A and B are shown apart, each in its own frame.
Chain A
Amino acid sequence: MDIKGSNVIKGIQMDGLRVVGDPQDLSNKYFEDGADEILFIDIVASLYGTATIHELVSKVASSAFIPLTVVGGIRNIHDARKAISFGADKIGINTAAVKDPKFIREIAETFGSQAVVINIEAKMTGLDSWEVYTESGRQRTGIAVTDWVKKVQDLGAGEILLTSVDRDGTGKGPDLDLAQKVQSICSIPVIVSGGINSTDDCSAIAALGLDGVAIGRNLHNNQLQISRLKQELLQSHEIRI
């Protein structure tokens, strides 16, 4: 089970981030506190099509020696190459992949499957069904999450970042039904994101056999601390300390 610190960069929330700290400082803090990976989720880029966080990633890459993943704003192979040249180890795509699924294969063949993370934003549509959304949970696609999960695996995706649109930013606990559903049809690593609130949430996700959790809001507001989470999880799970 990996614990990933998620740095969400939102233009509109830059003010909010100033209150909790500078993204570079936060990243280093999470690294030193034991984060297994850092995700840079560029929502501005995802909405406006321009990646703005390359410089930040480079700075973090020179002091935090853990995997760094850039999510958002990757529209084509050129964007992917650029993100990687600035220090990203993996790139996360959603909108671009939904628009042209062959893009997944293209990146996988160029950089290797392990560099390709598919960010699936899932919104509940029924008791046992979820729909894929793009553009930070604003745009529906009509695609069933279960169909999409199977498709991206076939196209060479390395990992799935599974974000619950319903729970993201709420701190109200993850969508375990969604996580379980995806786990049952997935043979590549799955990282659960959205609403993670406690050690119990992480433990429940680990118990379902999923591979990692991504936490944003509740790390930034200090409700959760990576080192403490890991110590608590260590009692019943294999975890890197």
Chain B
Amino acid sequence: MKKVSIIDYQVGNLFSVTSAIQKIGLAVEVVQKPEDIKKSELILLPGVGDFSFASEVIKKNGIWDAVRQHNFLERPIVGICLGMQLLVTEGFENGRHEGFDFIKGASVALTPQPGISKIPRIGWHKVFIESDLSKEMQLSEFDSKYMYFAHSFHVNLLENVELKLSSAHGRNTIISGFFKNNIAGVQFHPEKSGSLGINFLEKIFNSFAKKF
């Protein structure tokens, strides 16, 4: 695999994730038109913005269907933060919105825990490998390591996945990543998590490159 195609939902910072991918040594393109995705090897759904706004933008410009087609062909898709939330069935930010439904689950608001933890959940938190049934992903070196989070919503999974990462939010445990077949989602921002984050991203890409 030589190139990553980043979907542009017209909000947020594509600069960081583009730089991170280039640092890893892959080519990057930012796509805004459905026809550009037909040739994509790996699609990346980036991290900043609002679920309702982002999903509306990409439904309107035809990218939504092109991403569905990419998944139908079992080509890899990586979602970061908001991108991860878009991968599941539905999201409840500013009303109920349809997600891609590649993984059964819902994106819901973080539970307020006054005096214990804050929302938005911004900052560095440890991620844990909660379960790993995958044969390809070798992520043990990232267990209990700090990654950077910036979110107010989190994903509840409603199906089993090959690999699950978790993180602590006050007294609760929340999903911080999942992997199944051609789909990978992380709640944190690997492109903002220092060298460790870059290594993590590289591991995901390498794993998909071997598999697909």
**Contacts from A to B (Cβ < 8 Å):** 2, 31, 36, 58, 61-63, 65-68, 84-89, 109-115, 158-159, 187-189, 211-212, 240-241
Contact = CB atoms under 8 A, between A and B. Distances in A.
A89 B192 contact: yes
B146 interface: yes
B11 A110 contact: yes
B148 A189 contact: no
A66 B148 contact: yes
Given A84-B12, A159-B122, A187-B112, A112 B194 contact: no
Contacts of A67: 148, 150, 189, 192
Contact of A158 (B23, B122, B146, B197): B122
A65 B193 contact: yes
A63 B53 CA distance: 30
A211 B125 CA distance: 12
Contacts of B49: 111-112
Given A109-B50, A112-B48, A89 B119 contact: no
B19 interface: yes
Contact of B146 (A84, A87, A114, A240): A240
B27 to A, nearest CB: 15
A84 B114 CA distance: 31
B118 A188 contact: yes
Given A85-B13, A189-B118, A61 B19 contact: yes
A33 to B, nearest CB: 11
Interface residues of B, number: 35
A124 B192 CA distance: 35
Nearest to A157: B120
14 contacts: A36-B123, A62-B23, A65-B197, A65-B198, A86-B15, A112-B48, A112-B50, A112-B82, A112-B152, A159-B120, A187-B114, A188-B120, A189-B122, A240-B124
A89 B192 CA distance: 9
B31 to A, nearest CB: 17
B19 A62 contact: yes
Among all A-B residue pairs, the 4 with the closest Cβ atoms = A240-B146, A114-B150, A87-B15, A62-B19
A158 B149 CA distance: 12
A65 B15 contact: no
Interface string B167-210: 00000000000000000000001011111011000000000000
A67 B114 CA distance: 26
B23 A58 contact: no
B134 interface: no
A226 to B, nearest CB: 12
Interface string B46-68: 00111001000000000000000
A2 B123 contact: yes
A188 B119 contact: yes
Contacts of A158: 120, 122, 150
Contacts of A88: 13
B118 A187 contact: yes
Contacts of B148: 36, 66-67
Nearest to B112: A187
B44 to A, nearest CB: 16
